Chains A and B, each alone.
Chain A
Amino acid sequence: MRDFYGTTLPTGFMLGTAQYPSPAILAEAFRRSGASVATVSLRRESGQDRAGQDFWTLIRDLGVHILPNTAGCHSVKEAVTTAHMAREVFDTPWIKLEVIGEEDTLQPDVFGLVEAARILTEDGFQVFPYTTEDLVVADRLLNAGCEVLMPWGAPIGSGLGLNNIFGLRALRAHFPDVPLVIDAGLGLPSQATAAMELGYDAILLNTAVAKAGDPAAMAEAFALALKAGKLAQSADPMEPRDMAAPSTPVIGKAFLE
Chain B
Amino acid sequence: MKLQLNGTPVHSDAPTLAALLTAQGYGDAKIATAVNGTFVPASLRADHALADGDSVEVLAPMQGG
List of A residues within 8 angstroms of B32 by Cβ: 42, 84-86, 88-89
Q: Does A59 touch B at the CB level, under 8 Å?
A: yes
Residue of A nearest to B62 (CB): A43
Contact B30 A52 (CB under 8 A): yes
- Give A3-30 as 1s and 0s: 1 = Cβ < 8 Å from B's Cβ atoms: 0000000000000111110000000000
CA distance A77 to B64 in the complex (A): 20
Given contacts A45-B29, A46-B6, A47-B25, contact A17 B39 (CB under 8 A): no
Given contacts A77-B37, A85-B39, A206-B65, contact A47 B21 (CB under 8 A): yes
- Give B5-38 as 1s and 0s: 1 = Cβ < 8 Å from A's Cβ atoms: 0110000000000000100111001111110011
CA distance A242 to B6 in the complex (A): 61
List of A residues within 8 angstroms of B63 by Cβ: 16-20, 40-41, 55
Could you count the A-B residue pairs with CB atoms below 8 Å apart for me: how many are there? 113
Interface size on A, residues (CB 8 A): 38
| Complex partner residue of A89 from B30, B38, B65, CB under 8 angstroms | B30
Interface size on B, residues (CB 8 A): 26
List of B residues within 8 angstroms of A33 by Cβ: none
Given contacts A45-B26, A46-B6, contact A84 B60 (CB under 8 A): no
Q: Which B residues form the contact surface with A (CB < 8 A)?
A: 6-7, 21, 24-26, 29-34, 37-39, 41-42, 57-65
Q: Which A residues form the contact surface with B (CB < 8 A)?
A: 16-20, 39-48, 50-53, 55-56, 59, 68-69, 71, 77, 81, 84-86, 88-90, 156-157, 205-207
Q: A44-B60, A47-B21, A90-B61 are in contact. List 15 more A-B contacts (CB 8 A).
A: A20-B63, A40-B63, A41-B64, A42-B32, A44-B7, A44-B57, A47-B58, A53-B61, A55-B63, A85-B32, A85-B39, A86-B32, A88-B41, A89-B60, A89-B61
28 pairs, A vs B, C-beta closer than 8 Å: A16-B65, A18-B63, A18-B64, A19-B65, A40-B62, A41-B62, A42-B32, A42-B59, A42-B64, A43-B60, A43-B62, A44-B6, A45-B26, A45-B58, A47-B24, A50-B29, A52-B31, A52-B59, A53-B29, A56-B30, A56-B61, A71-B65, A81-B34, A85-B32, A85-B39, A88-B41, A89-B32, A207-B65
